[in-house]
């Protein structure tokens, strides 16, 4: 009997199963692995309410994508929760909040920590897959750049005296 307990929700074929047809399952799994490195768009919020997105077992799904653009079919009037299921998935996502209504979204997986992403912003997050107490964490909260960083773009805003000093004096 096949199971889907891995982080990408791929079909795990039991020993001796699918004689003569395992190639189809294997090809589907390879396509899903490629999807996990891709860009996906998902209208996660069909209404102005909290939502759950569940990564499909053994089938194509935008929520499996590395870069996930979250949109809405309704105008959000408040910060809404987006729960990623199942809560046993440990994975890294780049999530863009492209919802309408200028509201933030809070990405969570269980009762643990969550990450709030402002409207129009992009965050790199990871889920720990800890079950009912699972956490979603901002991967760049404590980003440490050892040597140098290059910032490009018009309208770059910085705050803090140490950042200004580093930009001016290197």
Residue 158: pLDDT above 70? no
Instruction: Choose the weakest-confidence range: 1-5, 57-61, 90-94, 133-137.
Output: 1-5
Kindly state whether residue 160 falls inside one of the protein's structural domains: no
Within a 13 Å sphere around the CA of 5, how many CA atoms are in the beta-carbon half?
6
103 pLDDT tier (thresholds 50, 70, 90)? very high
Question: Quick one: how far is CA 99 from the chain centroid?
Answer: 15
Kindly state whether residue 125 falls inside one of the protein's structural domains: yes
pLDDT averaged over the chain? 88
pLDDT, tens only, 28-74:
889 989 989 999 999 999 999 999 999 999 999 999 999 999 999 99
Kindly state whether residue 154 falls inside one of the protein's structural domains: no
Kindly state whether residue 37 falls inside one of the protein's structural domains: yes
Q: In what order do the strands lie in the sheet with 136-138?
A: 39-45, 67-72, 90-97, 122-128, 136-138
79 pLDDT tier (thresholds 50, 70, 90)? very high
pTM (predicted TM-score)? 0.81
pLDDT at residue 126 in the model: 97
Number of domains in the chain: 1
Kindly state whether residue 70 falls inside one of the protein's structural domains: yes
Using DSSP bridges, classify how beta strands 67-72 and 90-97 pair: parallel, antiparallel or unpaired. parallel
Kindly state whether residue 2 falls inside one of the protein's structural domains: no
Kindly state whether residue 148 falls inside one of the protein's structural domains: no
Kindly state whether residue 151 falls inside one of the protein's structural domains: no
Question: Which residue segment(s) compose the domain that 126 sits in?
Answer: 22-143
């Amino acid at each position: 009997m096949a199971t889907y307990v891995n982080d990408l929700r791929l079909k795990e074929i039991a020993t001796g199963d699918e004689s003569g047809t395992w190639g189809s399952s294997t090809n589907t799994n390879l396509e899903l692995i490629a999807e996990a490195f891709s860009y996906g768009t998902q209208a996660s919020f069909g209404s102005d309410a909290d939502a759950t997105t569940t990564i499909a077992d053994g089938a194509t799904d935008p929520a499996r994508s590395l870069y996930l653009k979250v949109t809405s079919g309704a105008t959000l009037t408040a910060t809404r929760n987006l729960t990623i299921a199942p809560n046993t998935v440990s994975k890294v996502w780049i999530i863009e909040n492209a919802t309408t209504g200028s509201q933030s979204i809070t990405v969570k997986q269980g009762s643990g920590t969550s990450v709030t992403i402002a409207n129009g912003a992009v965050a790199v997050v990871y889920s720990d897959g800890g079950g009912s107490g699972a956490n979603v964490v901002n991967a760049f909260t404590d980003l440490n750049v050892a040597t140098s960083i290059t910032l490009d773009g018009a309208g770059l805003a910085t705050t803090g005296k140490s950042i200004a000093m580093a930009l001016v004096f290197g």
